């Protein structure tokens, strides 16, 4: 599993709420995962932080950026991630 934890600010609460509604809508309308949308397993609050639980797809982009000295990706690498 991959967990996303949002910051505990008013604006982040608004964005997290919208994100949760959108992900729920997308998953309900793509039950067979035919559009390759990351699957949200659960969403909950912990100490006023909105937390999302997703399926683990692979290593995260932050780790790749960190390994490369935080230098952005070239177009071919972005295309690989998108595929």
Q: Which domains does the chain have, with CATH numbers?
A: 2-82 (3.30.200.20)
User: Would you state the structure tokens that stand for residue 63, as one six-digit string?
Assistant: 């780790």
User: Does 61 score more than 80 pLDDT?
Assistant: no
Q: What is the pTM of this model?
A: 0.67
- What pLDDT is recorded for position 10? 92
CA distance 28 to 32: 9
Asked if 6 contacts 46 with a C-beta cutoff of 8 angstroms, the reply is no
User: Does 79 score more than 90 pLDDT?
Assistant: no
Q: Coil, helix or strand for 18?
A: helix
């Amino acid at each position: 599993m991959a967990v996303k934890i949002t910051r505990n600010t008013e604006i982040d609460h608004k964005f997290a709420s919208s994100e949760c509604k959108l992900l729920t809508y997308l998953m309900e309308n793509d039950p067979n995962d035919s559009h390759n949308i990351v699957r949200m397993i659960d969403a909950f609050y912990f100490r006023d932080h909105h937390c999302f639980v997703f399926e683990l797809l692979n290593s995260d982009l932050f780790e790749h950026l960190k390994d490369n000295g935080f230098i952005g990706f070239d177009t071919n690498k972005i295309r690989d991630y998108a595929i």
